[in-house]
Structure 1
Amino acid sequence: MKKEIPDKNLFMMCKKLNTCALAELPNGYHVRTCRRNELDIWKKMPFDDEKTAEQYSDYMTKYFNDVYASKEDLFFNKCLFVCDKNDTPIGTCFAWKAYDRITTIHWFKVVKEYEGLGIGRALLSVVMKSIPKDEYPVFLHTQPSSFRAIKLYSDFGFALLTDPVIGYRQNDLEECLPILKTYMFKEDFEKLQFAQAPENFLKAVKSTCINEF
């Protein structure tokens, strides 16, 4: 199904956390930080199979070097894994101060075999609760293929940004809305909120051509 969906840019902003969306981890799972010897596990986490992970290996290494390497200690302090009872990582997500100015959600992903168990909602709950109120609004970048995650983000209080350009990237909202309407449940699609990006955010994302979220 997802292979039919084009890889387009969507951006979301949460001004205030909807605490009604929060959830606890199911029994048998726990959250901890990524260890230094697990960096390769983290780099593969966003991809559903080994072949795709291999294809994007150089991309993930470059992204790590561009965005996190200069603050490596902070990365390993921030980057979270949700793990099973054997302490095996099966999901990741963390909050990151992009451009040293704006709080962003990075690399939210639960391994495909563990989707639908409430693990993603619980992991996102941990991350969102960890962000101080004075660091809101919180921003993220996503794609229409992540329509299930978009529904989850919406539950937490995220709205889709309407600005046509975000930094040096096109915001493909108008093109993506019909796609989301096709794949999301009607009631979920109709609950989507929209917002214009604040000026300080737009200035931050234009401060470098490196996409830090």
Structure 2
Amino acid sequence: MSDIPDLNLFMMCRELNRTAMRELPAGYHVRNCRKDELDIWMNFPFDDPAEALQYRGFMTNFFQDVYGSKEDSFYAKCLFVCDTHDRPVATCFAWKAYDRITTIQWFKVLKEYEGRGIGRALLSIVMQGVSPDDYPVFLHTQPSSFRAIKLYADFGFELLDDPVIGTRPNDLEQCLPILQAHMPAEAFRSLRTTSAPSSFLEVARSSPKVEF
């Protein structure tokens, strides 16, 4: 939402809450992103085509920095939910950032497909694919993604309260009033905060690159 500032939030899941998981609605299927669909994937985070064009350089650089040397792994992991015409309508995947920490990356449902249970089902598939040995799982998000934050919390993610994660400030204190204003009261009250393990903070500090 344009009235919500672009601030940093970080979340961690120590254990999956399996009661939050759901199956895909009828008429949708999951498959991997194909190499000829990279442009589609790069446009996914942006609801406005003009904004997608504006950030194409950023997305291109991120892809090269984080996935460029591991393209086969990217295409093996990056998932699309598709409609009956095989058109991608949602995307997400788990990725080993810095080769050491498990992260949820680029979770997005196209706006016209929100509210159908697609995102919950996709996150169920992604989280179910994470080995117990790869927990905890981390993610970065923004307060404008308050619907996704409610979903993450359902799955067992907690907001991190550490002031800095890697090279980025953690804007939790600024974000909480925003989330309270936009989330249903019960959903906001269900949010939990925690501190990150020191090992995670060390990994995030180990590189100037942002990988999640």
Report the TM range for the smaller structure's normalisation. Answer: over 0.9
Is residue 169 from structure 1 mapped to residue 164 from structure 2 by the alignment?
no
- Structure-2 residue corresponding to 1:27: 26
Counterpart-to-counterpart distance in 2, 1:110 and 1:188: 20
- Structure-2 residue corresponding to 1:141: 140
Counterpart-to-counterpart distance in 1, 2:54 and 2:89: 20
Is residue 194 from structure 1 mapped to residue 193 from structure 2 by the alignment?
yes
**1:7 counterpart letter in structure 2:** D
Unaligned stretches of 5+ residues in structure 1: none
**Offset at 1:174?**
0.4
- Structure-1 residue corresponding to 2:96: 97
**Offset at 1:31?**
0.5
SS in 2 for 1:4: coil
Counterpart-to-counterpart distance in 1, 2:211 and 2:203: 10
**2:149 counterpart letter in structure 1:** I
- Structure-1 residue corresponding to 2:54: 55
What is the root-mean-square deviation in Å for CA atoms of aligned residues? 0.5
**2:194 counterpart letter in structure 1:** A
**2:182 counterpart letter in structure 1:** Y
Q: TM-score, normalised by structure 1?
A: 0.99
Is residue 74 from structure 1 mapped to residue 70 from structure 2 by the alignment?
no
- Find runs of 4+ consecutive structure 1 residues off by over 3 angstroms: none
**Offset at 1:49?**
1.9
- Structure-1 residue corresponding to 2:9: 10
Count of aligned positions: 212
**Offset at 1:101?**
0.4
Counterpart-to-counterpart distance in 2, 1:110 and 1:46: 9
Counterpart-to-counterpart distance in 2, 1:17 and 1:130: 11
**Offset at 1:199?**
0.8
Counterpart-to-counterpart distance in 2, 1:53 and 1:84: 22
**Offset at 1:100?**
0.5
